[in-house]
Structure 1
């Protein structure tokens, strides 16, 4: 069996090294996009261990941001996580 050896010009090798480095940097920053998770009032109440009326009151006060379709009310899970505040710094 014969092997074929190809010698590439130095600038091509440098370009390949630059491309490889850029790809590695992109991999570090890349985060796959998570689909938006919508929760009902009951799911939010169960998740936070509170009553549904508390979820309603927090929505009225602007603590939680409800969204709706027709008569249905939903909450984005990401919005719920962002509603939490750090108590100790």
Structure 2
């Protein structure tokens, strides 16, 4: 026999309201603890140079010294914005 739950002195509307209130509370908890991940933005070499105010020679030197990690897709080169942010945040430590 299946589990049966009986409610006494509760109308179907009250039961639905209690159920929805519980669901709303769970969603509110989820919203407080949930931080959506933003897709990682790719920067081109020109965008990187412009944003960091550096020359192509400086960018190339930083790649050679492993300060920057380029991503190659075919003949194009990209840099992850998150890695650049992390590099800038940790540069003074």
Q: CA RMSD in A?
A: 2.6
Matches of 1:86 and 1:51, distance apart in 2: 19
TM normalised by structure 2 equals: 0.68
Which residue of structure 2 lines up, in the alignment, with residue 76 of structure 1? 80
User: What's the counterpart of residue 3 of structure 1?
Assistant: none
1:87 to 77, 82, 92: 92
**Partner residue, 1:37:** 41
1:67 equivalent to 2:66? Answer no
User: Unpaired runs of 5+ in structure 2?
Assistant: 1-9
**Which region of structure 1 is more displaced relative to structure 2, 53-62 or 15-24?**
15-24
Give the distance between the partners of 1:39 and 1:72, measured in 2 at CA: 11
Compute the displacement of 1:43 (Å): 1.1
Task: Determine helix, strand or coil for the equivalent of 1:63.
Answer: coil
- Name 1:23's counterpart in structure 2: 27
Q: Which residue of 1 aligns with 2:5?
A: none
Q: For structure 1, which runs of at least 5 residues remain unmatched after alignment?
A: 1-5
